[in-house]
Every structure is written in C-alpha cells, then in structure tokens.
Amino acid sequence: MPNLSLRLRSLLIAILALGIFIPVTVLTLSKAYTSSLLQAKYNELKLMNLAMISVFEFEDGESLMPQMLYDEQLNLPDSGYVGAISVNNQLVWQSASSVYTVFDSLMTTPAIGDEVFVPQYALDDSGSEYFAYAFTAEFDNGDQYIPVSFYVFNDRRDFLHERDAFLRSVWQYLGALGAGLLVVLIIGMNTLLKPVRLLIGEIQQASGGNQTQLTEDYPPEFTPLKQSINQLLAGEAEQRERYKNSLGDLAHSLKTPLAVALGTAALPDSAKEPLQQIDTLIKRQLKRASAGASAWSQGEPVMPVVQQLIAALNKVYRDKNLTLSASGDEGLFFGDKTDLMEILGNLMDNACKAARSEVVVSVRQLSRQTELHIDDDGPGIPAE
C-alpha cells in the first residue's frame, strides 16, 4: 500500500479485521447456540419419554396407554411431536399426534436401561427430519419382564427456524456494530490526524513565506519534529540574512571603484558602456540576492505588476487605440520583482506591437505555480 493515505490504510485494515472477526464470531455463536438448543431438545424429549413410561402398563398380557396424555403436544396432530411404543420390535402404540405419520421403520432399539438421542432422523419417506429419543425399560407382564422401547420424535423445522432467526439477528446486530465501529474509527482517525493536517498547513504557509515559525500546539510526539522544523526555518532565515549582508558589503566595496572609474574624464566612451553595464548588472544581482532565492521567500503578487504595466503601455500605445485588460487571480511570483516586470514587460510589449485592437492578460494561481496567458488579436506567426 505505498500510495495509500494513513486514513485509507487504517480504514482498509479495520474493514479486513471486521471482515474476519464478524464471520468468526457468528460461527462461534452459531455453534454455541446450536449446542444449547440441542441440549434443551434432548432434555425436553427425555422428559416426554419419561412421562410416557410413567403411564404405560401391561394388563392381561396387553399393553395399555391412556387415550390422551398429560403432554398436550403428543395429542395434537400438528404439534410436530410424535410418540411411539414398541414391544419386541413391533409397534404397539403411537400417539394421537401421529395421525398423519406413517412409520416406515423405527430406529435401532436401545438396550434395556439405555437411551439413544439422534439429532437427525428420517422417520418416513417425506424427506422431513426429526429429533429422535428412545429409551428401553422392562415391565412386569405377570410371569416375566418384557423390554419395552419408548420413542419420541420432534420435527426439526421449528428448531431450524429458531436457529436461522437467531443467526439473522446476530448478523444484523454485528453488522450494525461493525458499521458503528467504522464510524468511530473514521472520527478517531480524523481526530488523530488533525495535528498532521495542522503541521502540513503550517509548513505550506512557511513555504509560501506567510510565516517564519510553526506556532500551533502539537501533541508531545510531534514536539521534536516541530522544534527541528523551526530550527531549520530559523537557520535558513539567518543564512539568507548573512548572504544579504555579505552582498551588501560587496556592493559598497564595488560602488566606489566603479564610481571613480566612471567619473574619470579621460575614460574613453568605449569603456564607459561596459562599466555601466557592469554597474547595472551588479546592482541587479545584488537586489535579486537580497530578495532571496530560497523556496521559503515571500512571494511577489503578480496582478499588481500586470496592472502597473497596463497603465504604462496604455500611454506608450495611446495612438494605436489598444484595449488592455487583465483578469483572474492575484498570483504569486517567487523571485525578484524586477525580473517579473522585465519578463512581463517584454511579453506584453510584444503583444501590443502585434495586436490590432486588444490585449488580454490572464493570471491563474495553481497549487504550486502561477499560470500566465497573454493573448492578442494580431495575425500571429505564420505557419511554415
């Protein structure tokens, strides 16, 4: 992630973490909840089985069961519960709730005193699956003890609906929790990155020459960085000042000899012009150096220079009846104002010479540079 911002990186990491955490949590809760439901279902069917055992008896060799049981779920056809009793692997009784149930076969009969609990059992060929619980007990039949197996079956559909409803709720709650955590994370990241934004803003202000030191209050972790940047700014300003003073001293050192040379009466005209050019060049270079070539220097507004040149060119080209205008931003030029006036003056003068009636100067300030357009309605340069 070399080109991603810290905020986006943190957001992606949080989304990845939640993408792993939420499904794992749902899976864990699903297993725990399913295990709890299975245990509850086992206890429920066991109690119903014991209730059947408590009312069963033999009389004259015949098995007897009441028509209606205490547990109403074994009496209602649509309850989803079915009870059955077998003796010697032969079905001898089934509950009133099994009126729509056809027993293809009963599950394996457990040994006497043993129980069997099967979470998924196909009771018939309808495709429905049941919870099944079976227990085998011995009953006195007069002259012998006979093993009797008791079965309770429960349709799994209600169980599955309950589990699915629970999982939907878990997904919804965890999804809402995840969304809330992302919102909190975004707010937290904005808060954490606020000092970074302030620092960037101050550096940009210092780069534009609008301030000389970082003055905002930053967290302790940023204090060494702030101090280092302020030392850098102070050192750069001090170096520029020393450079300016040195150039000033140089100017004074050269001024007197040049003045003496230029004031010499016997100086040939052929030598005066080069000396004057040297004098002008030295003054210009000293002025440029004193303004500073550093990236931290104060920018020179462009639009006032343009307006000043327009006023001067209107006088120069008064007889041509030109319309000179300027539009756009104020703009900044990081350099010597004399250089700016010389560059713009030459370009605008050329435009006035080529124009028929109008010259338009447009200034546009971009993030790190100033864009200038000088347009005229002249014939232009012919294509070769």
Q: Which residues contact 34 (CB under 8 A, 6 or more apart)?
A: 163
Chain segment 198-212, per-residue pLDDT in tens: 888 888 877 776 777
Structure confidence at residue 293 as a pLDDT band (50, 70, 90):
very low
Within 126-222, where are the H helices?
Answer: 157-207
User: Cα–Cα distance between 57 and 63 in angstroms, integer?
Assistant: 6
Q: What's the CATH superfamily of 300-376? A: Histidine kinase-like ATPase, C-terminal domain (3.30.565.10)
Q: Domain coordinates of the chain in residue numbers?
A: 9-161, 220-291, 300-376
Three-state DSSP at 148 gives: strand
Handedness of CA 135, 139, 141, 145 (dihedral sign): positive
Single out the residue of 85, 199, 100 nearest to residue 148, CA to CA.
Answer: 85
Mean pLDDT of the chain: 83
Architecture of domain 9-161: 2-Layer Sandwich (3.30)
**Is pLDDT above 80 for 66?**
yes
User: Cα–Cα distance between 284 and 190 in angstroms, integer?
Assistant: 49
User: Cα–Cα distance between 290 and 240 in angstroms, integer?
Assistant: 8
User: Strand ranges (DSSP E) for the chain?
Assistant: 57-59, 62-64, 81-87, 90-94, 115-121, 130-140, 145-155, 300-301, 323-328, 332-333, 358-365, 370-376
Q: Which two tokens stand for residue 203?
A: 């550096």
358-365 sheet: strands from edge to edge: 323-328, 358-365, 370-376
The DSSP letter of residue 106 is P
Structure confidence at residue 233 as a pLDDT band (50, 70, 90):
confident
> Which position has the higher pLDDT, 24 or 203?
24
Fold: same for 9-161 and 300-376: no
What is the secondary structure of 318-373 as a DSSP string? GGGT-EEEEEE---EE-S-HHHHHHHHHHHHHHHHHH-SSEEEEEEEE-SS-EEEE
Three-state DSSP at 58 gives: strand
Q: What is the pTM of this model?
A: 0.55
Chain segment 181-199, per-residue pLDDT in tens: 889 988 888 888 888 888 8
Chain segment 68-104, per-residue pLDDT in tens: 888 888 888 888 899 999 988 888 888 888 887 777 6
**Is pLDDT above 60 for 178?**
yes
